Structure 1
C-alpha cells in the first residue's frame, strides 16, 4: 500500500510499529495477570498502556494509513494490526476504576463503535447500531423473532469465538518465527481483528445493560443534592437512675463510661453517707411527726414533742444525730437570706 501521509517519514512508521508492539505486550500482560484490576499497580499499568495506544493512534492519523475508498486487500499486512487500536483502548477504558463510571462507559462505547464501523467499511463485519425506539415500534411477533434470532446469534458467535481463539493460538506459534510467511502473518492479524469484533459486540451489549443503571444512579445523586439528607443529631448521653438491674444493663450498655445506678444502689449510697436512715436498724422511738402520728402520739401537744426531742438527744440516738448533722450541713451550705438577692445581680 502506498504511503498516504505526506508529512510522515519512514522513521515515524518504524516508531509507530515499536510503540504499538510495546503497547500490545503490555495489554496482554494486563489481561493475563492474576492481580486485581483495582490494585494501584494495575491501574498505573492500564493508564500507561492507554497512553501508549493513544500515541500510536495519533501517528496512524498523521500517516493517513486508512482510507474510506479502499478494501481490506489494499491494506498492507503490517498496517492491519492498527485496526485494533480503538478496540484495545475501549477494553482498557472499561478496566479503569477512578472517575465517574458513566464517563468511562461512554468513552468505551465510542471506541468500540468506531472500531466496528471501520470494520464494516472494510467488509470485515456487519455490525448494526440498534436504536431503542426501533425495538419499541416492533410488534410482539417481531420482538419474539428478534429474541429467537438474538439467541441463535449468540450461540453462533460463541462457536465462532471458540474457533477463532483456537486458530489464533496456532497462528501465534508460527508468527513468532523470524522467517514467517507473509500470508500467515496476514491471516494472523485478520483472525485477531475478527476475534475482537465478537468481543466488541459483547462489550457493547453489556454497556447497553449497564447504562440505564448508571443513569438511574445519577438521577438519585441529583435528587440527593436537591434534597440533602438532614444530619442526624448527636446521640444523647444522659446520667440516669434506672429502676432495676435489667434496665441498668440496657441503658448502661450504651453509656459504659457514665455512672449509672439503680434506685436501691442510690439509697444504699445515701445510707452509707449517713444522709438516709438505715432500714435494717430497729427504731426505738418515732423520729418524725408523721411517725409519731402513726404511733398514736398527739400532734397537738407541743410539750410532748419537745420531750421527745430531748429524750432522743439524751439517749444519743444515732438516727437522730445523723438527721441533725445533715440539717446543720444544709444550713452551713445554704445560709439564711442567700436566695433573696432583692433583684440584684
Structure 2
C-alpha cells in the first residue's frame, strides 16, 4: 500500500509529530525514578494517553491497516503505529485515583486488540487469550491431580520461555538502537520496529495474565465494600505505676514528691487488690509489717524499733545517733584493720 493510498499525504507529518512527542513522554515515564502516583508523573501519563489516542484516531481515519495485508506490505514508517494499543494499555495501568477495575478493563481491551493485530500481520502466532469460562456444572468429575500438575508445568514452561525471549529481544533492541544511531539503513530500522513489536507481544501476555489474577481480588473487594468491619476488642486500660509505702508518713512524703503517681500504704494496696478480686479477702493474709510480725527476724525487728524511736523523737536515740556521727568523723573506715594497711 502506498502512502497516498493510506491517506497520509496530508496527515503524515502531524501524525508523526504527535506520536514522537507521546513516545518521549512514554520513555520518560518508563525510565524515570519518580513515583508513578506522584502528581507530575500522573500528569505526564494523562498527556501521553491523550496524544496516543489522537494518533490512534488519525490512524483509523487514514485506513492505514487492513487484515488483508501482511507485515511485509506495510511501509517501515507505519510499523511503529501498530504499537499504539500496547502503549495505551501500559499507560492505563499506571493511572491512579480512578477505580482500578475500570482501568484494568480498559487495559485488557487494548492488549487483546494489540495481540490480535500482531497475529493478523504475522508478527506472532499465539492465540489471543479469551475470558475464563465459568466452571462446568458437573462436579462429579473433578480435575485430576495429574491434569493440575500438567497445567502448572505448561504455565511455568511458557513463562520461562517468554522470559528468555524477552531477555533476548531486549539485547537485540539495544544492538539495533546503536546501529540506527550510526546509520540510516532502512533494513536496520525495519528490523528494529519488528523486534519492538515482538517484545511488546510478550509484555502484553504478561499484563493480561496479571489482570486475570487481579480481577477476582477487585471483584471480592467491591462485593464486600459495604460490609461493616469486625469490631476491635476493647483495649485494657494501661497500667499505672504505684509507689507502695510502709505507713502514712512515707505516703505523705512520696505523694508530695510525685503528685502524678499514686502512693499508698501496704494496707491500702492490699485492700485495693482485694476490691479488684486479685488478692484473697482473708484478714490473716494482709502483709502488715510491724514489730510483732517481725519478731522472728531480729535484724528486721531492731530496724523497725529504731525507726519508731526516730519518728517519736526519742532523746536517747537522738543522742546515740549524734555520738555515732561524731565517731565516724574522727575514725575513718578501716583504721582499726591492720590487714588493710599498705
Provide TM-score, normalisation by structure 2: 0.63
Q: Separation in 2 of the partners of 1:75 and 1:211? A: 37
Q: 1:212 to 1:171 in 2, by over 3 A?
A: same
Cα deviation, 1:294-323, whole Å, max 9, x if unaligned, reads xxxxxxxxxxxxxxxxxxxxxxxxxxxxxx
Aligned length: 242
SS in 2 for 1:11: coil
Q: Separation in 1 of the partners of 2:61 and 2:85? A: 16
Cα deviation, 1:110-167, whole Å, max 9, x if unaligned, reads 1111101111111212133144238869842333222211111111111111110000
| More displaced 10-residue stretch of structure 1: 99-108 or 126-135 | 126-135
| More displaced 10-residue stretch of structure 1: 158-167 or 137-146 | 137-146
- Check the 8 A contact 1:53/1:89 in 2, yes or no: yes
Question: Following superposition of structure 1 onto structure 2, how do residues 166-315 of structure 1 map, counting pairs within 5 Å?
Answer: 166-177=171-182, 179-221=183-225, 223-224=226-227
RMSD: 3.3
Q: Separation in 2 of the partners of 1:29 and 1:5? A: 34
Question: Following superposition of structure 1 onto structure 2, how do residues 113-124 of structure 1 map, counting pairs within 5 Å?
Answer: 113-124=112-123
Q: Separation in 1 of the partners of 2:134 and 2:119? A: 21
- Check the 8 A contact 1:105/1:207 in 2, yes or no: yes
Q: Separation in 2 of the partners of 1:217 and 1:200? A: 25
Cα deviation, 1:59-115, whole Å, max 9, x if unaligned, reads 000111110111111111100001110100000011101210111111111111110
Q: Which residue of the partner structure matches residue 157 of structure 2?
A: 152
Is 1:67 aligned to 2:72, yes or no?
no
Q: 1:166 to 1:228 in 2, by over 3 A?
A: closer
- Check the 8 A contact 1:3/1:63 in 2, yes or no: no
Which structure 2 residue ranges, 5 or more long, are not aligned?
232-239, 243-259, 265-342
SS in 1 for 2:67: coil
Q: Which residue of the partner structure matches residue 21 of structure 1?
A: 20
Which structure 1 residue ranges, 5 or more long, are not aligned?
231-243, 247-259, 265-345
Q: Which residue of the partner structure matches residue 335 of structure 1?
A: none
Q: Separation in 2 of the partners of 1:128 and 1:49? A: 26
